[in-house]
Amino acid sequence: MKKMTKGILSVVIAASIGFSSVPIQALASEQGTLKVVSSVNFREKPTTNGNNQIRFLKSGETLEIIGQPNSYWYQVKDKNGRTGYVSSSSKYVTRVSSGSSSNNSSSGSKSNASASTKVERVIKAGQKYLGTPYEFGSNRSSTRTFDCSDFVRRAFIEGAGITLPSDSRKQGDYVKKVGKTTTNWKNLKRGDLMFFMSYKGTSKSSYPSNKQSQRITHVSIYLGNGKMLHTYSNASGGVRVDSIANKHWEYRFMFGGSAL
């Protein structure tokens, strides 16, 4: 039944979505709860085109997340059991803890275990593509080639059911909204995303000590133990694992953090 539902939803989304530049992805299985922070339309379809409003959601309402067809919309169920779509913009909704307000240590352990499981699934999904050729501006609906942000995006879709934005700069903004970030890569956790400025050579002196005004040009997945999973050029062999310390990757690193 779930497979049939996903197939039907994919057809509806493909026919009606109002953001033509956003690739259509299968409905995510990500679950959780949203809280409405500002009145927003509850819609029948994940698009602002046409008259598909169900009603206005009021500030303070909570919604059960059923899935996320793309980075702009959540599919949700309201308190009346009605299923529809709501904008994912933080202007309208915020994600709240799936464990409600309880501080019970067992629920905290369960939450941590869940996050750890997702991290490993993301990394496993990414490692499946080791050696896949690099292509700048790769097709987001294909897995034949990847650029850096497309690769990271694919790993999170397959491993965690989360559809990240399509480019590295927007992915950086996404990570900043999700939680804390660090400018010291040694403080990163396994599965965190890493963001880098442009390559300026192999010397540390070629890079500014404060990089926060620099533009993000690259993203990777931190594996732990000073290594990262990413792709950056045809010459490098496509998707691969690289060490960070004392290399230009360390000098280019801007910030990193979790996307989960």
- Asked if residue 109 and residue 50 are part of one domain, the reply reads no
CB 244 within 8 A of CB 226: yes
pLDDT at 31: 63
- Asked if residue 180 and residue 109 are part of one domain, the reply reads yes
- Asked if residue 136 and residue 63 are part of one domain, the reply reads no
Question: Tens digits of per-residue pLDDT, 79-136?
Answer: 888 889 999 888 888 877 443 333 444 444 444 447 788 899 999 999 999 999 999 9
By C-alpha distance, which of 167, 178, 148, 160 is closest to 259?
178
- Asked if residue 140 and residue 50 are part of one domain, the reply reads no
- Asked if residue 171 and residue 90 are part of one domain, the reply reads no
Question: Tens digits of per-residue pLDDT, 127-183?
Answer: 999 999 999 999 988 999 999 999 999 999 999 888 999 899 999 999 999 888 999
Query: How many separate domains does the chain show?
Result: 2
pTM of the entire predicted model: 0.59
CB 82 within 8 A of CB 37: no
- Asked if residue 173 and residue 47 are part of one domain, the reply reads no
Look at residues 61, 96, 131 and tell me which one is the last residue of a structural domain.
96
Look at residues 96, 130, 161 and tell me which one is the last residue of a structural domain.
96
pLDDT at 37: 86
pLDDT at 247 exceeding the cut of 50: yes
Residue 249 to residues 123, 136, 246, Cα–Cα distance (Å): 19, 19, 8
Hey, how many other C-beta atoms are within 10 angstroms of the C-beta on 142?
Answer: 12
* Higher local confidence (pLDDT), 68 or 113: 68
By C-alpha distance, which of 43, 102, 47 is closest to 78?
43
- Asked if residue 232 and residue 109 are part of one domain, the reply reads yes
Q: Say which CATH number the domain at 21 has.
A: 2.30.30.40
Look up the domain containing 143 and give its range.
Answer: 105-257
Q: ∠ CA(131), CA(235), CA(121), 5° rounding?
A: 30
- Asked if residue 89 and residue 201 are part of one domain, the reply reads no
- Asked if residue 109 and residue 86 are part of one domain, the reply reads no
Residue 223 to residue 121: CA distance in whole angstroms: 12
Both tokens of 19, joined, read 């953001």
Q: ∠ CA(238), CA(233), CA(206), 5° rounding?
A: 135
Q: Say which CATH number the domain at 131 has.
A: 3.90.1720.10
- Asked if residue 113 and residue 241 are part of one domain, the reply reads yes
- Asked if residue 207 and residue 132 are part of one domain, the reply reads yes
- Asked if residue 220 and residue 241 are part of one domain, the reply reads yes
What mean pLDDT comes out for the span 54-73?
Answer: 87
Look at residues 96, 126, 160 and tell me which one is the last residue of a structural domain.
96
